[in-house]
Amino acid sequence: MRKLVFIFILSFFSYLSFSDSFSFNTFNNHGVVGLVNMPTARFYNESAFGFTFYNGDPDQKITMTSSPFDWLEASVFYTNIQDKKYCSFDYDPTCNQDYKDKGFNFKFRVKEEGVLPSIAIGVNDIAGTGLYSSEYIVGSYGINKTDFHFGLSWGALNGSKRSFKNPFGKIDKNFYKRPIIYADEGGQFQPSRYFSGETVSPFFGVSYAINEKHLIKLEYDTTVTPGRVGYEEAKQDFSLGLDFNLSKNFTIGISSERGNYTSIRFTYKNDSKASKPSYQYKEPNHNQTDSKYVRFIRNLNENGIGVNKILEGADQIGIEMSQFVHPNLDIIDEIIEKASYNAGLVKPIKTDLRIVDLKARSEYDKDFERNSKLIYQRQAKKKFKTNTRLSLRPFLASREEFFKGALMIENISEYSFLDNFFFSSNLKYSVADNFDDLKYPPVNTYPAQVRSDVKDYLKNFSEGVFIGRAQFDYHLSPKKDHHIMMSAGILEEMFNGAGFEYLYYDQDLNYAVGFEIFEVKKRDYMMRFGTLDYKNVTSHLNFYYRNYGRIPFDAKISYGEYLAGDEGLTIDLSRSFSNGTKFGIFASFTDVSTDEFGEGSFDKGIYFNIPVFGNLINYSWRPLTKDPGAKLNRKHSLHDLLVRFRPIN
């Protein structure tokens, strides 16, 4: 009976707890949902993301954190460690600066909170230099406004005086041995160090929500001091923090860390699924004499959908449409339903949805077209669209300085000669930048220098207007489910070229296959019309797959020759959401050996597209900018255009 009462009490308090609340959980100094320095077993909903800016002693960090799934948290960080030399060679001028580092962290949910606590496992600084290399298992349990956390930590978080023998050593004695020498200094995975070491440290902490604006955090901080980062020896075992929620998205955190110093942390976070409002249908003005079809066309045009053709059959209406505005199929279907209802159309609507005249999705066939009456057909018109905006171009953790960047005026224009023939341009002008003192050359440039000379391009940002892109694109679908795109011109900041892509895409299948081939020539560093001597033909076979199972994801696997002439395979895994948010990881394995590649071993990284203040922020992170595994930064691919009209997984 007492056991039943105890379980009932736990269940009751669990119901009152803040649990994985977006409001009452914040990022710690390492960009992980947690306390001050220690992690918790709390997670945000899938599609959530955030940025953390931390100023401590001696390290300063910028972290971007994403939640591709509600059971996975991934973050990438850049750090600057003050008074720690970049390298130890007195003759090398690169060494006379603070140390820079990059890395990424992962946290996985093992169990959600219920009668028993939630449980998570995580790995910090999973590859490379290992300055923050640590692993943990943590549990969290909430009672009313108080959240309790307790766990075990290894590596850089294994600094407790109360540590005890590593329990995993009972499984395999190799767990007692944590490597002291790291595999390399720039991004190679070393699984032998995960959850290893002679001892493990217990840690615990508590957070209390005073109200919706203030959160107190207290933790038993087991950070190793001084460790490889070079912290001051801890004066006490505890760290205390106070977080101020300025709004649901912005937080300022002030912490007293181990009795040594006070740090400050700025956080932006966004639950993009919750914060993105549903589409607001726009009601156009109609004349009383307007026919149903005129009303219907105006309804669609007002809501970002262009009508190419309307066909009326005996028992249904067929509409051929084109649109570029809406990010997914659900919004399009919602608009069509409201537009037809408001126009007074009774017959069911069947659609033929096109983008740049490629047939993305069709609900009627040729027989319907032959047996139907043509009600309306749009006359092809030349169109010009242009948009000028401010944009930020970051260049983080260079050997010269922790943050480099440019504030730019950017013009993006598009002129359509036909529905399937376009010219698009991207002109840029740097209002302010600090790229002038980029001077340290890359260490490895094998097999050809195609990306590692990026600094030579950045240094010329201040030399007036330059061209980011100026290309012609022609699209056609010569046969059902078979699509072709031909492109020529200035394809990106570093390459001119011409080529084409083919894609087999069946709207009823969750996979697609194709290939691409481009002859390219390297642009000179002024980024106008001049070129350098280097040229190559790059080509790839591409396979795309969208999984609708228990773990939804998108996969792209490509094989072929890269810009630098190396050959190999790229694997890209991502998760997309209906509001435009996308998180992904990639890795390329080519015929360039580990020794030839140098620091980092192989090309890899993460990327994200996120809606912030109404715009998409696109960013890709690599541990190092190297030449092997480099691909063209194309404006879009055929699959990019067509996949948005497939249901989101």
Q: What's the per-residue H, E or C state across 502-559? A: EEEECCCCCEEEEEEEEEEEEECCCCCCCEEEEEEEEEEEEEEEEECCCCCEEEEEEE
Of the pLDDT bands very low, low, confident and very high (cuts 50, 70, 90), residue 579 is: confident
How far is 260 from 289, CA to CA, in rounded Å? 78
Tokens of residue 626, six digits: 């190297």
pLDDT in tens, 497-530: 999 999 999 988 999 999 999 999 999 999 999 9
**For 95-99, 119-123, 355-359, 519-523, which range has the lowest pLDDT when averaged over its residues?**
95-99
Average pLDDT estimate for 482-505: 97
Contact 80, 60 (CB under 8 A): yes
Average pLDDT estimate for 154-168: 95
How far is 647 from 548, CA to CA, in rounded Å? 9
How far is 136 from 108, CA to CA, in rounded Å? 11
pLDDT at 615: 53
Tokens of residue 276, six digits: 């993105």
pLDDT at 93: 64
pLDDT at 209: 93
Beta bridge partners of 391: 408
What lies within 8 Å, CB to CB, of 443 at 6+ separation is: 598, 599
**Domain range annotation of the chain:** 2-275, 292-377, 383-643
Contact 259, 199 (CB under 8 A): no
- Tell me the C-alpha to C-alpha distance, in Å, between residue 42 and each of 18, 26, 118, 185, 407: 10, 9, 8, 31, 36
Contact 552, 649 (CB under 8 A): yes
Contact 137, 121 (CB under 8 A): yes
DSSP sequence for 55-99: E-SSEEEEEEEEEEETTEEEEEEEEEEEEEES-S-TT-GGGSSEE
Which amino acid, residue 114? G
Contact 617, 609 (CB under 8 A): yes
Domain 2-275 belongs in CATH node 2.40.160.40: yes
DSSP sequence for 448-502: --SSTTHHHHHTTTTSS-EEEEEEEEEEEEEETTEEEEEEEEE-SSSEEEEEEEE
Which amino acid, residue 459? K
Classify burial at 154, counting beta carbons within 10 Å of its beta carbon; exposed 0-12, middle 13-18, buried 19 or more: buried
Whether the per-residue pLDDT at 190 is higher than 80: the answer is no
Contact 73, 79 (CB under 8 A): no
DSSP helix/strand/coil, 301 = helix
Tokens of residue 545, six digits: 């797959």
pLDDT in tens, 215-274: 999 999 999 999 989 999 999 999 999 999 999 899 999 999 999 999 999 999 988 777
CATH class for the domain made up of 292-377:
alpha beta
The C-alpha angle with vertex 86 and arms to 80 and 89, in degrees rounded to 5, equals 175
Whether the per-residue pLDDT at 4 is higher than 60: the answer is no
What lies within 8 Å, CB to CB, of 599 at 6+ separation is: 184, 185, 186, 187, 443, 444, 624
- Tell me the C-alpha to C-alpha distance, in Å, between residue 622 and each of 395, 441, 636: 12, 17, 21
Percent of the chain beyond pLDDT 70?
92
The C-alpha angle with vertex 396 and arms to 394 and 401, in degrees rounded to 5, equals 115
Global confidence as pTM: 0.85
What lies within 8 Å, CB to CB, of 276 at 6+ separation is: 579, 611
pLDDT in tens, 31-84: 999 999 999 999 999 989 999 999 999 999 999 999 999 999 999 898 989 888
**Phi and psi (nearest 5°) for 112?**
-80, 160
Tokens of residue 56, six digits: 């401590």
In the chain, what is the greatest distance between 2 CA atoms, to the nearest angstrom? 85
Whether the per-residue pLDDT at 430 is higher than 90: the answer is yes
Average pLDDT estimate for 396-416: 87
pLDDT at 3: 46
Tokens of residue 369, six digits: 């077209």
pLDDT at 549: 87
Percent of the chain beyond pLDDT 90?
63
Tokens of residue 631, six digits: 């691909």
